[in-house]
Amino acid sequence: MLKTIYLAGGCFWGLQGYFDLIEGVCKSEVGYAQSNIPNPSYELVCTGMSNAVETVRIVYNDQKLDLEEILQRFFSVIDPTLLNRQGNDIGSQYRTGIYTQNNDTLEKIYRFIQRIQYYYDKPIQTEVKELKNYYPAEPYHQKYLQKNPQGYCHIDISLAFKPLNELKTKD
């Protein structure tokens, strides 16, 4: 069965590039979630006025990839203790977040974060919320790192090739 989750982990290019390499991910798209302004542009998002966050919409086959693995992989490539920052990217649009429209999924995410908080010295800052809205980003942002392999990325995409048990997850 196909399911959808929205992940924000700093610049959306790297997160999309990483998850595109994970078996079970059927489709990904970068965009802006939780915006106070309908259909914001990249330029508007960068001002912080929209309160939108750069997000990757991930459609996955839950028979091949379950939510637990998605969350473990997500937390292995971000620093969830940072607020409004990942790598060299700073601003509210680069905050970490997990969004869904499914209440059961939200509960599973909350429990996962409670379980892994023990392994962090600082509080986890990753927001977990019901998805308010999502708008696809401009075409030049889609699959950016495929089109621009030397483009900036704060995520080590090669980690997608490691088995889950070899990742530096905290759980």
Given a contact cutoff of 8 angstroms between Cβ atoms, the answer to whether 68 and 60 are in contact is no
CA gap 165, 148 in Å, rounded: 30
How far is it, in rounded angstroms, from Cα 48 to Cα 35?
A: 10
Burial class (CB in 10 A: 0-12, 13-18, 19+), 158: exposed
Count of CB atoms situated within 10 Å of the CB of 171: 13
Catalytic residues: 11
